[in-house]
């Protein structure tokens, strides 16, 4: 090297080069720590997403079965409503009377 600098340090002074090197090492370690934290966080997010998808799938199955049950009940109500109006009125009166007695019994026990 032609300008009088020693051949081993390529023109950098020892003190300046080591300061930059130490700062680079510190920043590299900081970056490594942050990348590790982001990696573990992304793994936890992936696990949580899998659990949430499983729960949503189970809820979907539950809603499907409930929809089938509700459809069957509505079908029975249609059949009941097609019958004579006297039968329907009788069933409704018996149900209302039953509810009245249940409420009366609950209030009486207090």
User: Is residue 69 a part of any domain in this protein?
Assistant: yes
- Confidence band of 1 (pLDDT split at 50, 70, 90): very low
The whole-angstrom separation of Cα 35 and Cα 5 is: 39
Do the domain assignments include residue 18?
yes
**Structural domain that includes position 70:** 14-84
Q: Is 77 part of a structural domain of the chain?
A: yes
Residue 61 covered by a domain: yes
The H or E element spanning position 91 is helix 85-109
Number of domains forming the structure of the chain: 1
Give the mean pLDDT of 65-91. 78
| Residue burial 13-41, b: 16+ Cβ < 10 Å; e: rest | eeeeeeeeeeeeeeeeeeeeeeeeeeeee
pLDDT bracket for residue 34 (50, 70, 90): very high
């Amino acid at each position: 090297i032609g300008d009088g600098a020693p051949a081993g340090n390529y023109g950098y002074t020892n003190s300046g080069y080591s300061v930059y090197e130490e700062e680079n090492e510190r920043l590299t370690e900081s970056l490594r720590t942050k990348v590790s934290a982001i990696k573990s966080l992304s793994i936890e997010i992936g696990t949580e997403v899998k659990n949430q998808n499983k729960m949503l799938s189970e809820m979907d199955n539950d809603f499907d079965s409930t929809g089938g049950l509700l459809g069957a009940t509505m079908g029975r109500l249609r059949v009941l409503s097609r019958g004579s109006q006297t039968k329907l009125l009788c069933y409704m009166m018996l149900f209302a009377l039953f509810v009245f007695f249940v409420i009366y019994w609950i209030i009486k026990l207090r």
